[in-house]
């Protein structure tokens, strides 16, 4: 008797049904083919099917004029791009932030009528967000990448957002190319690899075909792309802006943030290890610095160019791939920013903060930089998508301290309950309120700078934007020897990951050869390619050949404030030496952590018990700026027989960090075959500490690098 339920087909019929299902599946897949798209041999078109004649330039009023809202090609392209990811940011997804204040040094009325730059007694609240560009929220902090540096000023006249990077230039000159650049640098679409890195074919294919990227790429291949900490990064507004003074006079400016602790970076091996051992290294460092009272501080300065001097340089002020060398225009300090409070809720503050370059206040205005012009549209459009509608300004972290009354009511996530019957202007029902405020020298309504534009509508690039290599050459020539070596190594590493040889060869022959022939030859040699003998474009003569301000060697603070020193100890350690170092470090504003073989306390030679901050495995050498090993016979013997401790010292040595050891620790150095140098000091007295601290202040012992490379990892 059959045990099958009534109505169940026989097994033979079930088998036939399975075959039929597979057939239907294949048929469905074939039917879906009409939705698959292969662009090979096809014309570039808009989403509405219109053929595109120029995908390189936004529609502008003249080649150097403002971009036009009527450019439906640019708006469609960027609108689609703005909405490609939800809910995390498309770029700058991995970030962290903190609260603080900005305080102007003096009354800068002669430069700008912005109130926060005029009243030294006022502390303007700020929120700063730092980020990596390429990777998603779960990627590592220390990958080779550009870092975002965005600051929201909650001024009494409204919010001002200075949205920049830790590099002063960008990859492209026109916003219409931004979706192309980001699509190229993001993980490749077929396998979503690599995460948080640019060592892949699509990125290098794009930049090798877009010479305007050459300057930014050499910055990205430098140590600037692997900062030591967020606290040790410079920041830049990238674009040229306008400041308008109380008399209505305009000046062109470039914004600069300079960190008080100096500017320095990780070494490449260190950055890679930190990405694995402490993905949150940068955000942890910022958080802990603020919690411990080591409040990060930056000075805000500007390079000022009088409007009548706009065309006096051998580059175009509106070109976002160019800097103004400080030899031509020095930086004028305006004030300082101090970050002194961590967020209470990461999502509510760091994730929901919405920056837009279009958020400005009276006294600040835009230029016709075509990359900036596109960003003014794009950022607001993106925030509407990310944060669920046009009311993102009502989220607490985005709310201005100034009142914001207008007739923009309703829409998603409205939290304000508007009173009154008139949601229009002018009106007589509600007494005409809210009303316009006339423009004035101070405290007036916003007034756009009165700039005369007389030009044809065109879709073209200004000829003054045509030099793509001279400033890349300037940057490379301004580097120290070790910085140049790191750039060569970075290009070699990144291009070594590129699968297609023609892309590698194009980057070497058509980009690097036009920056510096020695750079191109060295990279070609490392990639097994023929070395180029000449560039492909004429060398452009420039007024500045080297700029010391571009080298991080010249950007150190000169002290060791907030630096971290690891003290390695085992049972039998000299406790007095530990106390002496801690007191000396404290006097310099630096910090020490006591590390043992395990997390258990260690016993000093005189029988005292010392709690340790962590084990050596728990806080590896890559988390510290320097290492100290106090004496004590039993402790030295224990460390000399401990593989973790020996690796700790060797790794710090290879990463060129300052190391100080007591005299009786010399046998441990002999065991590792390490010789004393300017940063490897033997001795534990005051004189040795002075030399030790001087070495820490230099950030790395660069003269050790060739010797350290010869030691096996």
User: Is the model's pLDDT at 604 over the cut of 60?
Assistant: yes
Which two tokens mark 392?
A: 């993102």
Tracing tokens 């029902």 back to the chain, one arrives at 429
Architecture label for domain 60-216+224-398:
Beta Barrel (2.40)
User: What pLDDT is recorded for position 2?
Assistant: 39
**Cα separations (Å) of 528 from 60, 217, 339, 488, 615?**
44, 21, 48, 14, 44
- Mean pLDDT along residues 327-335: 98
- Could you tell me whether strands 147-155 and 124-132 are parallel, antiparallel, or unpaired per DSSP bridges? antiparallel
Backbone angles phi, psi at 401, to 5 degrees: -80, -20
| 178 carries a ligand binding annotation | yes
User: Predicted confidence band at 17 (pLDDT cuts at 50, 70, 90)?
Assistant: very low
Which residue, among 610, 620, 615, has the nearest Cα to 598 in the 3D structure?
A: 615
Predicted confidence (pLDDT) per residue in 195-216, tens digit: 999 999 999 999 999 999 999 9
Predicted confidence (pLDDT) per residue in 502-555, tens digit: 999 999 999 999 999 999 999 999 999 999 999 999 999 999 999 999 999 999
Which residue, among 699, 709, 636, has the nearest Cα to 666 in the 3D structure?
A: 636
CA distance 548 to 34: 59
**Cα separations (Å) of 636 from 63, 281, 549, 617, 666?**
70, 30, 44, 18, 9
The partner residues of 188 in beta bridges, in order of sequence, read 193
User: What pLDDT is recorded for position 24?
Assistant: 57
Backbone angles phi, psi at 641, to 5 degrees: -100, 10
Dihedral angle at the C-alpha atoms of 366, 409, 439, 430, nearest 10 degrees? 170
| 624 carries a ligand binding annotation | no
Which residue, among 465, 464, 475, has the nearest Cα to 516 in the 3D structure?
A: 475
Which residue, among 626, 593, 621, 628, has the nearest Cα to 698 in the 3D structure?
A: 626
Half-sphere exposure of 359 (CA within 13 A, CB side): 23
User: Is the model's pLDDT at 685 over the cut of 90?
Assistant: no
- Could you write out the DSSP letters of every residue in 314-383? SS-TT-TT----TTTSPEEEEEEEEEEE--S-HIIIIIT----TT---TTEE----HHHHHHHHHHHHHH
Predicted confidence (pLDDT) per residue in 54-73, tens digit: 888 999 999 999 999 889 88
State which H helix or E strand residue 298 sits in.
strand 297-306
Which residue, among 690, 649, 685, 655, has the nearest Cα to 667 in the 3D structure?
A: 649
The partner residues of 661 in beta bridges, in order of sequence, read 629, 682
- Could you tell me whether strands 564-568 and 591-596 are parallel, antiparallel, or unpaired per DSSP bridges? parallel
CA distance 146 to 221: 10
Which two tokens mark 268?
A: 């490449």
Architecture label for domain 564-709:
3-Layer(aba) Sandwich (3.40)
Could you tell me the residue ranges of all domains in the chain?
A: 60-216+224-398, 476-554, 564-709
The SS3 assignment for 450 reads coil
- ω into 434 cis (within 30 of 0): yes
Mean pLDDT of the chain, nearest integer: 92
User: What pLDDT is recorded for position 620?
Assistant: 95
Which residue, among 314, 308, 316, has the nearest Cα to 63 in the 3D structure?
A: 316
Which two tokens mark 129?
A: 């967000």
Which two tokens mark 475?
A: 């940057």
| CATH number of 476-554, picked from 1.10.260.40, 1.20.1370.20, 1.10.10.10, 2.60.120.560 | 1.20.1370.20
Give me the active site residues, please: 92, 165
User: What pLDDT is recorded for position 77?
Assistant: 86
| 89 carries a ligand binding annotation | yes
| 129 carries a ligand binding annotation | yes
**Pair 175, 370: CB distance under 8 Å:** yes
pLDDT: is 527 or 47 the higher one?
Answer: 527
**Cα separations (Å) of 691 from 319, 589, 627, 677, 688?**
46, 16, 13, 11, 5
**Pair 378, 65: CB distance under 8 Å:** no
User: Is the model's pLDDT at 27 over the cut of 70?
Assistant: no
- Mean pLDDT along residues 118-136: 95
CA distance 172 to 533: 27
CA distance 323 to 686: 45
User: Is the model's pLDDT at 451 over the cut of 60?
Assistant: yes
Lowest mean pLDDT among 258-262, 316-320, 423-427, 654-658: 423-427
User: Is the model's pLDDT at 662 over the cut of 70?
Assistant: yes
The partner residues of 680 in beta bridges, in order of sequence, read 659, 677
Half-sphere exposure of 614 (CA within 13 A, CB side): 11
User: Is the model's pLDDT at 85 over the cut of 60?
Assistant: yes
| 452 carries a ligand binding annotation | no
| 409 carries a ligand binding annotation | no
User: Predicted confidence band at 8 (pLDDT cuts at 50, 70, 90)?
Assistant: very low
User: Is the model's pLDDT at 1 over the cut of 60?
Assistant: no
CA distance 200 to 223: 19
């Amino acid at each position: 008797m059959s045990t099958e339920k009534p109505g169940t087909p026989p097994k033979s019929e079930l088998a036939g049904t399975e075959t039929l299902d597979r057939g239907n599946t294949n048929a469905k897949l074939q039917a879906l083919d009409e939705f698959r798209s292969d662009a090979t041999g096809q014309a570039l078109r808009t989403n509405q099917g219109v053929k595109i004649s120029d995908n390189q330039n936004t529609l502008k009023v003249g080649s150097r004029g403002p971009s036009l809202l009527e450019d439906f090609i640019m708006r469609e392209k960027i609108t689609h791009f703005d909405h490609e990811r939800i809910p995390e940011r498309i770029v700058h997804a991995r970030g962290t932030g903190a609260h603080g204040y900005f305080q102007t040094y003096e009354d800068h009325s002669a430069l700008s009528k912005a109130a926060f730059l005029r009243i030294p007694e006022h502390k303007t609240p700020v929120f700063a967000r730092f980020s990596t560009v390429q990777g998603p929220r779960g990627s590592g902090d220390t990958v080779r990448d550009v870092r975002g540096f965005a600051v929201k000023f909650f001024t009494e006249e409204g919010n001002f957002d200075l949205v920049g990077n830790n590099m002063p230039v960008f990859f492209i000159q026109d916003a219409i190319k931004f979706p192309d650049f980001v699509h190229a640098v993001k993980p490749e679409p077929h396998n979503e690899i690599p995460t948080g890195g640019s060592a892949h074919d699509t990125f290098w294919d794009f930049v090798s075909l877009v010479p305007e990227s050459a300057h930014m790429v050499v910055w990205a291949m430098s140590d600037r792309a692997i900062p030591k900490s967020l606290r040790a990064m410079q920041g830049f507004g990238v674009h040229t802006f306008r400041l308008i003074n109380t008399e209505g006079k305009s000046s062109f400016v470039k914004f600069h943030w300079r960190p008080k602790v100096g500017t320095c970076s990780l070494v490449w091996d260190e950055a890679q290890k930190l990405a694995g051992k402490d993905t949150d290294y940068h955000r942890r460092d910022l958080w802990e610095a603020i919690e411990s009272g080591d409040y990060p501080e930056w000075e805000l300065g500007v390079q000022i160019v009088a409007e009548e001097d706009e065309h006096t340089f051998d580059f175009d002020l509106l070109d976002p791939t160019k800097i103004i060398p400080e030899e031509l225009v020095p930086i004028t300090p305006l004030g300082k920013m101090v970050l002194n409070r961590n967020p209470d809720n990461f999502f509510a503050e760091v994730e929901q903060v919405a920056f837009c370059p279009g958020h400005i206040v009276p006294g600040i205005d835009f230029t016709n930089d075509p990359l900036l012009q596109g960003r003014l549209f794009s950022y607001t459009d993106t925030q509407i998508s990310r944060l669920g509608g046009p009311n993102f300004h009502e989220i607490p972290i985005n709310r201005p301290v100034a009142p914001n009354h207008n007739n923009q009511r309703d829409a998603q996530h409205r939290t304000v309950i508007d009173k009154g019957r008139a949601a229009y202007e002018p009106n007589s029902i509600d007494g005409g309120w809210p009303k316009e405020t006339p423009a004035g020298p101070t405290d007036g309504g916003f007034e756009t700078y009165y700039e005369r534009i007389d030009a044809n509508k065109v879709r073209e690039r200004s000829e003054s934007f045509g030099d793509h290599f001279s400033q890349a050459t300037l940057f490379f020539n301004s580097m120290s020897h070790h910085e140049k070596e790191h750039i060569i190594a970075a290009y070699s590493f990144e291009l070594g990951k590129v699968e297609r040889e023609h892309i590698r060869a194009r980057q070497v022959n058509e980009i690097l050869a036009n920056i510096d022939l020695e750079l191109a030859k060295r990279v070609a040699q490392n990639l097994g390619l023929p070395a180029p003998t000449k560039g492909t474009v004429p060398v452009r003569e420039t007024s500045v050949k080297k700029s010391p301000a571009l080298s991080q060697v010249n950007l150190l603070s000169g002290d060791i404030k907030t630096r971290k020193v690891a003290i390695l100890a085992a049972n039998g350690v000299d406790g007095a030496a530990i106390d002496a170092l801690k007191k000396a470090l404290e006097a310099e504003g630096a910090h020490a952590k006591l590390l043992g073989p395990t997390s258990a306390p260690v016993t000093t030679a005189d029988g005292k018990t010392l709690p340790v901050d962590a084990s050596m495995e728990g806080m590896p050498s890559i988390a510290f700026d320097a290492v100290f090993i106090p004496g004590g016979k039993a402790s030295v013997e224990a460390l000399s027989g401990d593989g973790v401790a020996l690796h700790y010292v060797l790794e710090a040595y290879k990463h060129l960090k300052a190391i100080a050891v007591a005299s009786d620790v010399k046998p441990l150095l002999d065991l590792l075959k390490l010789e004393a140098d300017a940063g490897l000091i033997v001795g534990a007295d005051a004189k040795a500490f002075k030399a030790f601290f001087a070495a820490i202040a230099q950030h790395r012992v660069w003269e050790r690098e060739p010797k350290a490379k010869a030691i096996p990892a």
